[in-house]
């Protein structure tokens, strides 16, 4: 079997290296200078340090050549560029199964990756093409160091799941399978917003109690949103729900938590994003989820406050205190 991994950021590269231990992998990157540097070093120092590529991993900057001949595509392109990649794939006109590992909502449309897939391939194509999502509590820096990692693979085709899950399930990675694509996408996207809130709380020294409350109530917001658009409740107690949320709200490698920590120190959002060097999906996800929650008629107070801090100049401490001072309500 041959896999084409799209996107040579930290996560795409880590997944490509993991797969290439046992499987032939082509890693595609659009940036030719980045690709040239990786070819010379046989590593990705820009995003992942000096971890060497296995012999089964090859590099390619020609999209069509990378895709043709592979058995399935694993997209690790940021959500902002996901639709363009799908359009390029449509132009090639091949029915190759797609698994994506990007998390977030598309700017302006507020659509999750599975909805973008539906837009681009339509209902008739949806019935023919196998697709799905890989998600879970997984930092690239830990996977690449051989530390234990578990992920969920949810697809619209059980046969596809059974075929590809073993490719990931070896060495330090364990894979689970399911079919709740909606829930896995929701969990992976919305946890980044709650992680910004947790970072703000930690940065202000509000302690463990406050962080635990934000995680718990944040999970409730994620579940309410997910159920409203068709996911199942059980998904949010799993790896792509609670698992990913806890990791992103507490882990040292969490870019979204880092955004919150630096906001609490009074840094500007523009300066934070320029200094990260990586995409922090939660920033623009907060705006899109807050907007979409209104159209869905659901209450998401943590998400709304983070949106206010990020885009409406509300002081971070004031936002946290406003959450604490909300009226008493039934816990649900």
Catalytic residues, which ones?
191
CA distance 198 to 211: 6
Per the structure block, which two tokens stand in for 40? 């010379």
User: At which residue do the structure tokens 């202000």 appear?
Assistant: 204
The answer to whether the CB of 75 falls within 8 A of the CB of 7 is yes
The answer to whether the CB of 242 falls within 8 A of the CB of 267 is no
Strands 72-75 and 2-6: parallel
CA distance 7 to 134: 15
Query: How many other CB atoms are there within 10 angstroms of residue 51's CB atom?
Result: 17
With CA atoms as reference, report the closest residue to 175 among 5, 30, 15.
15
Residues β-bridged to residue 190: none
Strands 72-75 and 57-60: unpaired
The answer to whether the CB of 303 falls within 8 A of the CB of 221 is yes
The answer to whether the CB of 259 falls within 8 A of the CB of 276 is yes
CA distance 135 to 176: 10
With CA atoms as reference, report the closest residue to 177 among 154, 200, 145.
154
Q: Which helix (H) or strand (E) holds 292?
A: helix 281-296
Residues β-bridged to residue 149: 173
With CA atoms as reference, report the closest residue to 76 among 18, 141, 16.
16
- The SS3 of residue 129 is coil
Q: Which helix (H) or strand (E) holds 216?
A: helix 207-228
Looking at residue 52, the DSSP 8-state letter turns out to be P
């Amino acid at each position: 079997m041959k896999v084409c991994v799209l996107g040579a950021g930290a996560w795409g590269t880590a997944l490509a290296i993991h797969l290439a231990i046992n499987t032939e992998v082509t890693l595609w990157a659009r940036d030719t200078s980045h690709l040239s540097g990786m070819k010379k070093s046989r590593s990705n120092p820009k995003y992942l340090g000096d971890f060497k590529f296995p012999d089964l991993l090859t590099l390619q900057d020609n999209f069509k050549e990378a895709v043709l001949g592979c058995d399935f595509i694993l997209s690790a392109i940021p959500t902002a560029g996901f639709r363009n990649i799908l359009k390029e794939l449509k132009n090639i006109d091949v029915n190759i199964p797609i698994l994506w590992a990007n998390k977030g909502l598309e700017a302006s449309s507020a659509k999750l990756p599975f909805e973008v897939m539906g837009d681009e391939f339509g209902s008739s194509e949806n019935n023919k093409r196998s697709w799905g999502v890989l998600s879970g509590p997984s930092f690239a820096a830990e996977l690449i160091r051989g530390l234990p990692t578990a992920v969920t693979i949810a697809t619209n085709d059980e046969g596809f799941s059974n075929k590809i899950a073993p490719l990931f399930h070896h060495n330090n990675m364990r894979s689970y399978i399911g079919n709740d694509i909606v829930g896995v996408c929701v969990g992976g996207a919305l946890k980044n917003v709650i992680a910004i809130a947790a970072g703000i709380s930690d940065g202000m020294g509000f302690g463990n109690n406050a962080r635990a409350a934000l995680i718990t109530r944040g999970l409730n917001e994620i579940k309410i949103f997910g159920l409203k658009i068709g996911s199942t409740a059980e998904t949010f107690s799993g790896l792509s729900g609670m698992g990913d949320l806890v990791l992103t709200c507490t882990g040292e490698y969490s870019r979204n938590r880092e955004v919150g920590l630096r906001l609490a120190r009074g840094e500007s959002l523009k300066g934070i994003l320029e200094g990260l060097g990586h995409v922090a999906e939660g920033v623009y996800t907060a705006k899109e989820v807050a907007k979409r929650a209104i159209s869905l008629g659901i209450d998401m107070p943590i998400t709304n406050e983070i949106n206010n801090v990020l885009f409406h100049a509300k002081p971070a401490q004031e936002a946290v205190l406003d959450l604490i001072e909300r009226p008493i309500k039934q816990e649900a």
